[in-house]
Amino acid sequence: MQFPKTNTFDAGLVRSKIMGPNTCKLTEELMDEADLPRGSVVLDLGSGTGISSAMLAREYGLTVYAADLWSDPSDNMRFFESLGLGNRQVVPLKADAAKLPFAHGFFDAVVSVDSYNYFGRDAGYLGACLLPFVKRGGTIHLAIPGMVRDRHDNLPTCLLASWTPEQLDYMHDMDWWRRLLEQTPGVAIERMRELACTREAWADWIECDNEYAQNDRAAVEAGALDYLNTIAITLRKD
């Protein structure tokens, strides 16, 4: 695949910032169909070290709130400033996804890449904790690490080369996510599909020189990507 926006970032910088499959490539493919007007106010939920937020602000012209529970907002602000991004373009903050500190209807859109499966698996989460902060007619764009088909009753050995059954319980297939999201009133599923860049994004990750990437390498090299995918979902608030 071609990734012109991802390629505006130094490859070494991207490797130092990603915390799983290449966040930039996942974000770029996800956003290709989002069609958000420049200047839209967007929540990057579970923004991690901020590379997805930087892309949304710099390459798409969005006003981004980079919310993450575990990263340091000051570190992220220094990173954004190193890219020439000011605090009117991207705002880093520490926030719990279940207790977001915003006014209702504040955001034109929400983007969440490689993180929604950690906090969004509860059937009540979307309606109670996220949807209130989105404007009527606004959208939610999710890139969720998942399974081609749920195999939790008979997990392939290759997956267990890197991950425990408890860790794999965060991963589900498209039908599972559809059933979950359809339980929430006031929101419609506009699109749901597999991202085409999953294998490429994983290949970039396991080339990184850190212990987490090295741990994941065993499963990937054993064939895990025959069973794993990335699920792109677009929701619209009624």
Which residue segment(s) compose the domain that 122 sits in? 21-149+170-197+228-237
Total structural domains in the chain? Answer: 1
pLDDT digits (tens, 9 = 90+) for 134-189: 999 999 999 999 999 999 999 999 999 999 999 999 999 999 999 999 999 999 99
Please state, in angstroms and rounded to a whole number, the distance separating the CA atoms of residues 138 and 224: 35
Q: Is 88 exposed, middle or buried (0-12, 13-18, 19+ CB in 10 A)?
A: exposed
In a domain, 7, yes or no: no
Please state, in angstroms and rounded to a whole number, the distance separating the CA atoms of residues 130 and 98: 8
In a domain, 1, yes or no: no
In a domain, 208, yes or no: no
In a domain, 106, yes or no: yes
Q: What is the CATH number of the domain that holds 192?
A: 3.40.50.150
Q: How far is CA 122 from CA 7, 104, 183, in A?
A: 36, 21, 11
In a domain, 14, yes or no: no
In a domain, 128, yes or no: yes
Above 90 in pLDDT, residue 95? yes
pLDDT band at 1 (very low <50, low <70, confident <90, very high): confident
pLDDT band at 32 (very low <50, low <70, confident <90, very high): very high
pLDDT band at 56 (very low <50, low <70, confident <90, very high): very high
Give pLDDT, residue 133. Answer: 98
In a domain, 203, yes or no: no
In a domain, 219, yes or no: no
Give pLDDT, residue 155. Answer: 98
